[in-house]
């Protein structure tokens, strides 16, 4: 093979690799749609690459920074997710195949963020949802995200109060986060809750159990830093 041919082969292979490992074809199409619709102008750099989703810093046509979360269609095992979709009356008609479940998750996170916005919960503002891509406000500065709580640790008792109030506001609005931990809290001037894909409405048969788990996670974490609150009392207050 000639050098040129070898290089062409290599480029093709790399391109395919990028398409399959970073953006699958459908995701690329969805990104193109978002650009065409004027929702974003560019995808700038990755903020987080995870098992289930990748989050990128992106820019809008009016030069504002936003976060886009791209749920991975190809690689996510969906058996773990089903518990959170089944029993949620908003998502009863979802077919049981991987792609549809993932797309439903993006939509679910978008809807849950809308509930948070209405309820005054500190969370990213939802801007748009296209297939498996969620566009939301970026909690950070100049396109760079603020750290999550697991990195920085809680700062004061106010952090715990704000968090518990947000959990209560959500519950009053009929929503339970269901995956709350120090990993899904971003520390800006104030703290923000993120990652609402697994959030369920309180009609979900396990909603109360998820609420208790969320509160327990938070109280246990803060207790390690000396901020202690009684679990039973906090639960009573949350439900009141
Ligand atoms: N709106 C946002 N603004 C700034 N940073 C964000 C935003 N949303 C997510 N991030 C960053 O991206 C990371 C991953 O986001 P998120 O928790 O929503 O995804 P995930 O479902 O946990 O992904 P995975 O489980 O695959 O790692 C967060 O820990 C946070 O650092
Ligand atoms: Mg997370």
**Every domain of the chain and the residues it spans:** 27-239
- Per-residue pLDDT at 16 exceeds 70: no
Most ligand 1 atoms within 8 A of CB, residue of 195, 197, 199 to mutate:
195
Assigned CATH topology for domain 27-239: Transferase(Phosphotransferase); domain 1 (1.10.510)
The residues near 123 (Cβ < 8 Å, ≥ 6 apart) are: 113, 116, 117, 166, 192, 193, 194, 196
How confident is residue 13, by pLDDT bands cut at 50, 70 and 90? low
HSE at residue 108, side-chain half, CA atoms within 13 A, is 29
Q: Are 88 and 203 in contact (CB under 8 A)?
A: yes
Given the DSSP bridges, would you call strands 133-137 and 126-130 parallel, antiparallel or unpaired? antiparallel
Which is more confidently placed, 219 or 50?
Answer: 219
Burial 178-215 (b: 16+ CB within 10 A, else e): bbbbbebbbbeeebbbbbbbbbbbeebeebeebbebbb
**pTM reported for the whole predicted model:** 0.87
Q: Which of 88, 159, 166, 195 is catalytic?
A: 195
Please state, rounded to an integer, the average pLDDT across all residues of the chain. 90
Beta carbon of 145 within 6 Å of any ligand 1 atom: yes
- Which two tokens mark 25? 């074809």
How confident is residue 79, by pLDDT bands cut at 50, 70 and 90? low
Q: Is 179 a catalytic residue?
A: yes
Most ligand 1 atoms within 8 A of CB, residue of 52, 54, 55, 191 to mutate:
55
Beta carbon of 112 within 6 Å of any ligand 1 atom: no
- Per-residue pLDDT at 227 exceeds 80: yes
Strand blocks (E) in 63-113: 65-71
Beta carbon of 102 within 6 Å of any ligand 1 atom: no
The residues near 19 (Cβ < 8 Å, ≥ 6 apart) are: 25, 28
pLDDT at residue number 103:
94
């Amino acid at each position: 093979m000639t050098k040129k041919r070898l290089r062409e082969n290599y480029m093709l292979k790399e391109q395919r690799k990028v398409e399959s490992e970073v953006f699958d074809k459908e995701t690329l199409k969805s990104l193109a749609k978002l650009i065409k619709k004027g929702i974003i102008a560019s995808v700038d750099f990755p903020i987080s690459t995870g098992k289930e989703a990748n989050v990128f810093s992106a820019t809008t046509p009016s030069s504002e920074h936003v976060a886009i979360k791209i749920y991975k269609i190809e690689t996510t095992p969906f058996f773990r997710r089903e518990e959170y979709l089944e029993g949620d009356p908003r998502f009863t008609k979802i077919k049981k195949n991987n792609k549809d479940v993932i797309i439903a998750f993006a939509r679910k996170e978008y809807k849950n963020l809308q509930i948070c916005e209405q309820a005054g919960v500190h969370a990213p503002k939802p801007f748009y949802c296209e297939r498996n891509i969620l566009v939301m406000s970026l909690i950070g500065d100049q396109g760079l995200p603020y750290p999550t709580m697991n990195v920085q640790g809680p700062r004061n008792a106010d952090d715990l109060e704000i968090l518990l109030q947000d959990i209560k506001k959500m519950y009053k609005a009929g929503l339970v986060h269901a995956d709350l931990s120090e990993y899904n809290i971003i520390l800006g001037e104030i703290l923000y809750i993120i990652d609402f894909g697994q959030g369920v409405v309180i009609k979900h048969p396990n909603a109360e159990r998820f609420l208790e788990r969320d509160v327990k996670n938070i109280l246990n974490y803060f207790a390690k830093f000396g901020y202690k609150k009684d679990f039973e009392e906090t639960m009573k207050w949350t439900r009141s």
